[in-house]
Amino acid sequence: MKLTEGEGYLLLSPQFTQRLKYVEKLNAKNPTNGTSVVSTLTAYYGETGLYRLIEAGIKNRKTEDLATKLQAEKIQHWVVKAKGPDDVFRVMALDIVHKDSILSNPGFSTWAKYVDAFNAKYPEHPTSMIPTLLNYFSDVALFKLIEVAEIVMGTKSIATKLQEKMSKIG
| 1-27: pLDDT as tens digits | 454 545 566 788 888 878 788 877 887
- Quote the CA–CA distance of 159 and 157 in Å, as a whole number: 5
37 pLDDT tier (thresholds 50, 70, 90) = confident
Q: How many domains does the chain have?
A: 2
60-72 pLDDT, tens per residue? 898 899 999 999 9
Q: Are residues 37 and 89 in the same domain?
A: no
User: Same domain, yes or no, for 69 and 122?
Assistant: no
Q: DSSP characters for 123-162? A: TTS---HHHHHHTTS-HHHHHHHHHHHTTSTTTHHHHHHH
Q: Based on the domain organization, do 44 and 94 belong to the same domain?
A: no
Residue range of the domain that includes 159: 85-170
Q: What is the mean pLDDT of residues 142-146?
A: 91
Q: Are 114 and 79 in contact (CB under 8 A)?
A: yes
How many percent of the chain have pLDDT more than 70?
A: 92
pTM of the model as a whole: 0.83
Is the per-residue pLDDT at 113 higher than 70?
A: yes
